[in-house]
Structure 1
Amino acid sequence: MKKGMYLILLLVTMIFSLFACQAAEENNSQLEESQEQEAIETNAATEELLVSLMNSEGRQVATATLTDKGEAGVQIILEGENLPPGEHGFHIHEAGQCIPPDFESAGAHYNPTNSEHGFDHPKGPHAGDLKNITVNEDGTVYAEVDAPMVSLKRDHENTLFTKKGTSLVIHADPDDYISQPAGNAGERIGCGVIGE
């Protein structure tokens, strides 16, 4: 009788253990699937990003669509209005703050490689140096600008999602692509925080 009870107890214990192991495996599997989905959603969320740029009076003057192009960096499509006609410097700056009226809060150009400023400088450019944009006589602009040295991927060494954040800045004058530290591009007339 005792032997029979022992066998029944052993059998019940084994069945319970099997169910417990199966439940634990299912929980682990669900957790792994959840983490994978979260990683996919995080990456997807940073493949394309919209940035709103405001002028010194706090009015929106442009929007920029940033698209991650993998090894080719980031493409920026800038569309705006109510801007001064002519050629303007356009850069990625090192801080995610756009406090009007002068936008000095955006800091210097984004420069994680400690390079010199400008496409024409032998030790340049900064990662945040971009080609000048041209605003039409009616104050509108449409520009497609490449930023080959940066990334929207958070684990990339030149990610735009730094601890201090980053921002896009439009300047009053064109960048001469060589003067230090910022291409003699003049005042900051538009600013937008990346990732805000």
Structure 2
Amino acid sequence: MKNLKFLLFAASGALVTSCGTMKTMTDTINSKSGTSTQGTAKFSQEGKTVTMDLNVYKLTPGTHAVHIHEFGDCSSTDAKSAGGHWNPSKDEHGKWDSEHFHMGDIGNLVADKNGTARLIFKTDKWCLGCSDESKNIVGKAIVIHSGKDDFHTQPTGDAGGRVGCVEIK
């Protein structure tokens, strides 16, 4: 039974793999606000550690903020259907793991001259599908912004418009 592996295909087309305590989900990034942004967001959990691996293409070269937003809804053309930053602790916006930050304050990714960027982020402060709503990121959305997060401006970090969105399913 140790090597038993389950593969489930969600209605969204996302692949969910569960093997022991390992969970993996991969979703497609949707372009927003008239951009061509695309890519994938892969989430995996092993034990208590969640890893997010973002591979993003067709961005404007430079720095772009990445946040978890409160609703897993990327249906609107500007991604505002995803709501505001996910902030179950009702804390101020800031830099991850500093004195003040939201659970959705991931930080910035940097797109090269070709508009390609990758961000790998690991934490034990999130979970995939657990019953603790202050940690569970399933049902939320990852939003990629047009500008960088300054880590100070409230409540959004002055990150600009929303150019990419992916629902965490």
| TM-score, normalised relative to structure 2 | 0.79
Q: Deviations over 1:149-183 (max 9, x none)?
A: 2110332341123xxx2101000011011211011
Shift of 1:44: 2.1
Q: Which runs of structure 2 are paired with 1:128-143 in the superposition (5 Å)?
A: 128-143=104-119
Q: 3-state SS of the aligned residue for 1:132?
A: strand
Maintained 8 Å contact 1:128/1:147: no
Q: Which runs of structure 2 are paired with 1:12-161 in the superposition (5 Å)?
A: 44=18, 47-56=23-32, 57=34, 61-72=38-49, 74-119=50-95, 124-157=100-133, 158-161=135-138
Structure 2: unaligned runs, 5 residues or longer: 9-15
Shift of 1:146: 2.8
Point out the structure with the larger strand share.
2
Aligned residues: CA RMSD:
2.6
Which entry has the higher C-alpha Rg, 1 or 2? 1
Name the aligned partner's letter for residue 62 of structure 1.
G
Instruction: Give the count of matched residue pairs.
Output: 152
CA distance in 2, matches of 1:92, 1:80: 16
Q: 3-state SS of the aligned residue for 2:126?
A: coil
Point out the structure with the larger helix share.
1
CA distance in 2, matches of 1:187, 1:64: 19
CA distance in 1, matches of 2:93, 2:47: 24
Which residue is equivalent to 1:180? 154
Maintained 8 Å contact 1:120/1:178: no
Cα 1:121–1:69 shift into 2, 3 Å: closer
Q: 3-state SS of the aligned residue for 2:27?
A: strand
Name the aligned partner's letter for residue 128 of structure 1.
G
Q: Deviations over 1:41-85 (max 9, x none)?
A: 89928711112111124866010111114333x211111211111
| TM-score, normalised relative to structure 1 | 0.69
